[in-house]
Structure 1
Amino acid sequence: MSTDIDCIVIGAGVVGLAIARALAAGGHEVLVAEAAEGIGTGTSSRNSEVIHAGIYYPADSLKARLCVRGKHLLYEYGAAARRLEPALHCTAALVSPSTGIVDSHALMLAYQGDAENDGAQLVFHTPLIAGRVRPEGGFELDFGGAEPMTLSCRVLINAAGLHAPGLARRIEGIPQDSIPPEYLCKGSYFTLAGRAPFSRLIYPVPQHAGLGVHLTLELGGQAKFGPDTEWIATEDYTLDPRRADVFYAAVRSYWPALPDGALAPGYTGIRPKISGPHEPAADFAIAGPASHGVAGLVNLYGIESPGLTASLAIAEETLARLAA
């Protein structure tokens, strides 16, 4: 089977970059195609940046297993970097060795650097328009952008985050009944003026669609609160400052002394859900050939929290499902 490129990864978020890194480290020729102008412009950079301990997820779920595995891999990744560059500060543990915070963009830059050092290439402004599963094996993919092109590959990784289900539907030959519906669950964040009287991350009792409006301390010490839960029909990152009323009420349930006027609008993110508002929360869906019957294809659906924590473990799992 002749192809232009061995492996194509769609999506340059934290999971796509982690997978590209693992494939390139294994000696594969890798191209990462990203529709946006740079790495991590979607869910990967619009989250709490917490390294989760893995205590919130069902014990037999992928979220639990890959969160715990990914947490250990992530701390070891940071420790290895510090051994090479002692002045480099990668992560900061706040509660225990199991929970901490991370600079998500710096992490993605590190993954990108690792992948490129092993020969991977990244292209931006390159959206996938359509594709086909080839009868002889592999894939033929049509890309748009300033320089439209068609490329063939042996392995295709769909790590397109929010857009993964829609992207899979544009590829002829993928069974449509193997593609889950997508739901968009928006979360807003507000920042605190001044310093918080806490030295630890504070989490309320988890809610159905998320972990509740929790307090996170950034690496620089700035406190932020979020995310809340807002189901939306289309991708929209606008932050409505009127949601502050909901935040004051939520935060004062565990910090009654929060002063009036202390919260300022921060940013929003969107969770890539594959279960709806009134359904049980879905697990990660890492759909390899065993689930859809297409050799060389892995679709990653519903990679919401703890996807950042689990990114290195998700990469391991993806390669294992390709090899199965």
Structure 2
Amino acid sequence: MLYCRGMIDFLIIGAGLVGLAIARRLARSGCEVIIVDSGPTIGSETSSRNSEVIHAGIYYPTGSLKARLCVSGRRALYRYCTARNVPHRRCGKLLVATDDSQHGALQALADKVLANGVDDLQILSVAAAQSMEPALRCTAALLSPSTGIVDSHQLMLSYLGDAENAGAVLSLRTPVIRGMRKPDRWQVGLGGEEPDDIEVRHVINAAGLQASRMARALGLAPDRVPATHFAKGNYFTLRGGKPPFSHLVYPMPEPGGLGVHVTLDLGGRVRFGPDVEWVGKIDYDVDPDRAAKFYPAIRRYYPALSDGALVPAYCGIRPKLSRDPRADSDFLIHTEADHGAPGLVNLYGIESPGLTASLALAESVASGLGIAPGAEDAALFHAE
């Protein structure tokens, strides 16, 4: 096991859900941890701009990191949220076909889930689906009862609280400027109001949208760093009125995303999105004109949507490792074997289901470094 004493053991770059989950896991195992983020708050990018869905593990290629870590992470996350009183709810999700041509794709999803370790998916009749959601129009449906929603900000605060209680230190508005590998440690230059160079044994790059840029700043050769592409996802809410749905509703997936779907927050408010808009820079403005493409997509399963009912809400940006709509890009966790730099772990392409898989990603990183969990953290993954 790694001996975690003396010099600072770990610098975690990125205070989003995954960076905080990793910091929590390492600190609670006795390691000295510093978390830095260039933003003014924790989770100011991808982690605070998503659907807040706890995914079951349905969509991802069997055997992929996304599939494995989503399923194990989902189980651990529910246990964690219950133990820490993090607001969440197993609201369930309906996956729907809206015409007969989609039945084959829906059946393919149903066939995949058992191989992915999802054992509770239910085939519904159209009548049963519409009895659950009278506003829904569909020609076939599946129910995922283990899909849920969570307050992502409270989850981040809980991860951070656990990490700080175990001795971790958070420094916001602290960008990483450069890094250099020394014989037995990393020298990392930090910017901000009080620039400094620090020396650490290990660096964990969990910088999300900036992970590829950060890897290059740490001195990796360009051919050792995958490209990150930005997929902007816009969300719209309903203008007034009673929410039409009490479950999440997902149409068939589309290239680059899961289709414009219905999500709920813990207050029952309905959001539609995200779409897929490839962008070259980070921009969190929502163009109201994009609603023109939302209406026909939503009316395939919610025909009662009235003109003018959609109001711009917010958007998020997903770090994609490929723009090829045929590609199922996986999470990448690169270690010395991949990039040649000892003491460095890079996480690339941590998009959905990154929230669901956050505890499992942290466990994967820590176990890969030989750092055993405490009894409580081990129980998150092995409880009956």
Shorter-chain TM-score above 0.5: yes
- Indicate the residue corresponding to 1:109 in structure 2: 157
Q: Kindly provide the CA deviation profile for residues 40-69 of structure 1, in whole angstroms up to 9, marking residues without a partner as x.
A: 000001010000000000011000000001
8 Å Cα contact 2:84/2:158 also seen in 1: no
> CA shift at 1:132, angstroms?
0.6
> CA shift at 1:107, angstroms?
0.4
Instruction: Tell me how far apart the structure 1 counterparts of residues 369 and 212 of structure 2 sit (CA, whole Å).
Output: 19
Which of residues 57, 60, 63 is equivalent to 1:57? 60
8 Å Cα contact 2:11/2:202 also seen in 1: yes
When the two structures are superposed, what TM-score results if normalisation uses the length of structure 1?
Answer: 0.94
> CA shift at 1:281, angstroms?
2.7
- Indicate the residue corresponding to 2:13 in structure 1: 10
8 Å Cα contact 2:263/2:271 also seen in 1: yes
- Indicate the residue corresponding to 1:311 in structure 2: 358
Pairs aligned (count): 316
What SS class does the counterpart of residue 187 from structure 1 fall into? Answer: strand
Instruction: Tell me how far apart the structure 2 counterparts of residues 33 and 14 of structure 1 sit (CA, whole Å).
Output: 13
> CA shift at 1:92, angstroms?
0.5
Does 1:149 pair with 2:196? Answer: yes
Q: What is the percentage of aligned positions where both structures have the same residue?
A: 55
The aligned amino acid for 1:123 is: S
- Indicate the residue corresponding to 2:225 in structure 1: 179
The aligned amino acid for 1:159 is: A
Q: Kindly provide the CA deviation profile for residues 89-144 of structure 1, in whole angstroms up to 9, marking residues without a partner as x.
A: 6210112552000011110000000000000000011000111111x222110011
- Indicate the residue corresponding to 1:124 in structure 2: 172
Q: Against the structure 1 CA distance between its residues 276 and 282, is the aligned structure 2 distance closer, same or farther, given a 3 Å change threshold?
A: same
> CA shift at 1:195, angstroms?
2.6
Which of residues 237, 247, 251 is equivalent to 2:294? 247
> CA shift at 1:295, angstroms?
2.2
More moved, 97-106 vs 45-54: 97-106
Note the 1:1-324 alignment, pairs <5 A.
4-82=7-85, 90-95=87-92, 97-134=145-182, 136-172=183-219, 174-193=220-239, 194-278=241-325, 280-323=327-370
Larger Rg: 2
More moved, 144-153 vs 194-203: 194-203
Q: Kindly provide the CA deviation profile for residues 297-324 of structure 1, in whole angstroms up to 9, marking residues without a partner as x.
A: 1100000000000000000011122239
What SS class does the counterpart of residue 258 from structure 1 fall into? Answer: coil
The aligned amino acid for 2:45 is: G
Q: Against the structure 1 CA distance between its residues 323 and 54, is the aligned structure 2 distance closer, same or farther, given a 3 Å change threshold?
A: same
RMSD of equivalent CA atoms:
1.6
Structure 2, unaligned stretches of length 5 or more?
Answer: 93-143, 372-384
8 Å Cα contact 1:73/1:313 also seen in 2: yes
Q: Kindly provide the CA deviation profile for residues 254-280 of structure 1, in whole angstroms up to 9, marking residues without a partner as x.
A: 101111121110001000011124551
The aligned amino acid for 1:94 is: C
Structure 1, unaligned stretches of length 5 or more?
Answer: 83-88
- Indicate the residue corresponding to 2:98 in structure 1: none
Instruction: Tell me how far apart the structure 2 counterparts of residues 58 and 98 of structure 1 sit (CA, whole Å).
Output: 19
When the two structures are superposed, what TM-score results if normalisation uses the length of structure 2?
Answer: 0.80
